[in-house]
Structure 1
Amino acid sequence: MIVIGDTILSDDIIENFFVCNIEKCKGACCVEGDLGAPLEEAEKDKMNEVYEKVKPYMCKEGIEEVEKQGVYVLDEEGDYSTPTINHKECAYAVYDDKGFLKCSIEQAHLDGKIDFKKPISCHLYPIRVTKYDKYDALNYDRWEICSDACSFGQELGVPVYVFLKDALIRKYGEQWYSDLESEIKLREDNNIGGKK
């Protein structure tokens, strides 16, 4: 594991490869599972703030679920998350003309309507963050539906932490990411040194 400030990262994040391959998975992470996207406490207000600007990008069923359940819900695990449609796709997911699921929040952001990209849990996937009193634990979440992303990342030689550079900087800052890169390089140098 690697310790950077108040975070502990599993070695899997450094040693495994990952690049989303939406051509293969068609956005399955937005529909698989029983719960919506986990939300941080600070994101609840943000979701309320952006909803009216995101709404035009949403599908009819998603809007109906948000109007019925709320912009976010307290889920079965006692955490806040986005509502879902029939316990399947996220209410903010929408099919494009190719049949791929995309995020209506992210689309509103790309169009310059809002300054919120999407929930950080989505942006950071396949890293899942578990918060403890004094530190965050970052782990690589293996999910069968992402097997194409793993093989694509392997083919391109892109480790998880590199694929998620923007998301990790958004969450922890530029200095944190720079410290992570330095720590990884130090480990690599020591491993090379140890093989001589």
Structure 2
Amino acid sequence: MIAIDNVLLSDEIIEEEFVCDLTKCKGGCCVDGDCGAPLTEEETHIIARIYPHIKPCLDEAYIPEIERQGTHTIDSEYGYVTPTVNGGICVYGYTDETGTVKCGIEKAWREGLTDFRKPISCHLYPIRITSHPGYEAVNYEPRPVLCKPACKLGRKLKVPVYKFLKEPLIRKYGEDFYNALDHIALKHFDQKDK
């Protein structure tokens, strides 16, 4: 277990290797799950505010679901989440010409329509964060079948999870946090090599 400030991270975040392989999984994490993507309360307000700007980037077939359910819903286990279509694909997902599911919110961000990239839970996947009184638990939770190609590619390229997720980790916790994590990881591997 790694402790930085009030954040506890599982050792797998520095020990395991992972690189998304969209050619194999086809963005299945936007489709497969118990509910939509977890959202912070702040993100629920952001998505509601930017909805008119991201709407042109969304799959037209899913817009009625957003307008029926709202820009977010509440799950009994996860709290605020993105709505889904019949318990499957996230309403903000769209399928590109290769059959890969991608994020319409991120597409709008890439096109300069919004400064919000996508929910942090999506950006950090396969890391999952659980809030507890006084601390956050940060765990590596890839899906066993869906993420198998990403685990294989990560091992082939020798990219630790925390390095693959550098940008969203900095977005969530800041550069000082990431640098501290990197320092801990380097010390960990130095000691392993001795």
Same fold by TM-score greater than 0.5:
yes
8 Å contact kept, 2:38–2:78: no
Could you list the per-position Cα deviations for residues 88-120 of structure 1 after superposition, in whole angstroms to 9, with x for gaps in the alignment?
000000011111101000000011110000000
- AA at the equivalent of 1:179: A
Q: Distance in 2 between matches of 1:11 and 1:39?
A: 25
8 Å contact kept, 2:127–2:142: no
Q: Cα distance, 1:47 vs. partner?
A: 0.8
Q: Cα distance, 1:33 vs. partner?
A: 1.5
Match of 1:118 in 2: 118
Q: Distance in 1 between matches of 2:136 and 2:84?
A: 27
Q: Distance in 2 between matches of 1:76 and 1:137?
A: 19
Q: Distance in 1 between matches of 2:154 and 2:97?
A: 26
Q: Distance in 1 between matches of 2:71 and 2:101?
A: 19
Residue 169 of structure 2 is aligned to residue 168 of structure 1: yes
SS in 2 for 1:89: coil
- AA at the equivalent of 1:8: L
Could you list the per-position Cα deviations for residues 38-75 of structure 1 after superposition, in whole angstroms to 9, with x for gaps in the alignment?
00111111111111111111112221110000000011
SS in 1 for 2:76: coil
Pairwise CA RMSD: 1.0
Same amino acid, percent of matched pairs:
48
Match of 1:14 in 2: 14
Q: Distance in 2 between matches of 1:176 and 1:69?
A: 37
- AA at the equivalent of 2:48: N
Q: Distance in 1 between matches of 2:148 and 2:57?
A: 29
Unaligned runs of 5+ in 1: none
Unaligned runs of 5+ in 2: none
Q: Cα distance, 1:5 vs. partner?
A: 1.1
Match of 1:156 in 2: 157
Match of 2:178 in 1: 177
8 Å contact kept, 1:120–1:167: yes
TM-score by length of 2: 0.96
Q: Distance in 2 between matches of 1:137 and 1:78?
A: 14
TM-score by length of 1: 0.95
Q: Distance in 2 between matches of 1:180 and 1:14?
A: 8
Q: Cα distance, 1:189 vs. partner?
A: 2.6
SS in 2 for 1:145: coil
- 1:67-82 equivalent positions in 2, closer than 5 A: 67-77=67-77, 79-82=79-82
Q: Cα distance, 1:183 vs. partner?
A: 1.4
Residue 45 of structure 2 is aligned to residue 50 of structure 1: no
Q: Distance in 1 between matches of 2:132 and 2:78?
A: 15
